[in-house]
Amino acid sequence: MSISQGDKLPDATLVAMGDDGPQEVALAARLKGRKVVLFAVPGAFTPTCHSAHMPSFIRTKKAFDDKGVDEIICIAVNDPFVLDAWGEATGAHEAGIALLSDPQGAFTKAIGMEFSAEPAGLIGRSKRYAMIVEDGVVASFHPEVERGTCEISGGEALLAAL
């Protein structure tokens, strides 16, 4: 069963690219006392993630800031090196969007959002979703229903939920 509104997110150790290479990030500490938008993609550089999902949060970043969101975080079951390159390629770094790697998919599995699409080479990846998290608790959850679409979980849709 997947995570839902009102649930506390499980603690997880994710990985971010720092100035000196990969560094661990304790998700619970990052969320404590903050309002955060958290969204997940099946993979960096994949078509919908690259052309629709990430751009929707880049476009809406200032509007989320204006509504009191402390941070926007993108999570993917990719290594931190790929996410760092993707952040540069999309402009996510420049926009101030954090990219966190869930390298073994532990967080993704813990919240019930894992899937595989073997013909596309996507094994143990995250389903597409977005959520508003307040002090570690899911205030609003928007999982995408159809694969390859970004309607329910896009920046504009999540912004409308605030």
- pLDDT of 121 > 80? The answer is no
> Three-state DSSP class for 71?
strand
Residues marked active site are found at 49
pTM to 2 decimal places: 0.95
Specify the DSSP class assigned to residue 52.
I
Asked if CATH classification 2.30.110.10 holds for the domain at 13-161, the reply, yes or no, is no
pLDDT tens digit sequence for 50-90: 999 999 999 999 999 999 999 999 999 999 999 999 999 99
Q: Please name the residues in contact with 17: beta carbons below 8 A apart, sequence gap of 6 or more.
A: 23, 80, 81, 83, 84, 87, 99
Q: What is the pLDDT of residue 14?
A: 98
* pLDDT confidence band for 33 (50 / 70 / 90): very high
Q: What is the pLDDT of residue 17?
A: 96
pLDDT tens digit sequence for 4-29: 999 999 999 999 999 999 999 999 99
Residue linked to tokens 């813990």: 110
Domain boundaries, the chain: 13-161
Q: What is the pLDDT of residue 92?
A: 98
Amino acid at 153: S
* pLDDT confidence band for 148 (50 / 70 / 90): confident
